[in-house]
Amino acid sequence: MGKKLVMAQKRGETRALCLGVAMVVCAVIAYYILGTTVLPLYQKSVWTQKSTCHLIETSIREQEELEGKKVPQYPCLWVNVSAVGRWAVLYHTEDTRDQNQQCSYIPGSLENYQAARADVEKVRATFHEKQIFYCFSATRENETTVLYQRLYGPRTLLFSLFWPTFLLTGGLLIIAMVKINQSLSILAAQK
């Protein structure tokens, strides 16, 4: 009976060790992936200064106004603001600026023109209601663009690192508990 108990205990310890090592390996892989994707985007983001923006004007640019400029056929919102004492163009996120520099806001659904137009009208109305809002500006003096929302800010980085850190900590705790259990078993067997 005692030998079967020891064999079952060893199998359980082996499985627990494998689980702990697998969790640590998965955490290391996740850290690598985050380090090569999210971290460079966070470091590249220059819009770090939180500022107060005052709305100057908004306009909806239709497809007719954008002819000949290699712009997709959808309505987009153009927003001019005053931020940190100078005129600037407001972009919704970093990706909006990269997708189309002539649009401050690009609607989410571009398949249906009427739905896209309604979405742009709703966002425009929201800007006209607020008039003064927080935005993110670059620390460079000659930068004439500001962001309404940062995609790659500190909060995103922390949320991205939470689960790998949880996996790493859990895996190391499992490995430590198994090793402590093994050493206590050896001490108990020696007495």
Cα(180)–Cα(183) distance, integer angstroms: 5
Provide the pLDDT for residue 186.
81
The DSSP element (H or E) to which 51 belongs, if any, is strand 49-61
Cα(30)–Cα(22) distance, integer angstroms: 12
Cα(82)–Cα(104) distance, integer angstroms: 14
- What are the phi and psi torsion angles at 68 (to 5°)? 75, 10
The pTM of this model reads 0.67
Phi-psi label, residue 68: left if phi above 0, alpha if psi -120 to 50, beta otherwise: left
Which of these, 122, 127, 157, 174, lies nearest to 48 by C-alpha position?
Answer: 157
Please report, for the chain, the start and end positions of each structural domain, with discontinuous segments joined by +.
49-62+71-154
Block means of pLDDT (10 residues each) for the chain, length 191 residues? 56 90 96 90 80 86 56 74 82 83 81 83 88 83 81 85 95 94 83 76
Provide the pLDDT for residue 17.
93
Strand-pair partners of 81: 55, 88
Provide the pLDDT for residue 177.
93
Provide the pLDDT for residue 165.
95
Cα(95)–Cα(2) distance, integer angstroms: 64
pLDDT by residue (tens digit) across 109-145? 777 778 888 888 898 898 888 888 888 888 776 778 8
Cα(93)–Cα(151) distance, integer angstroms: 6
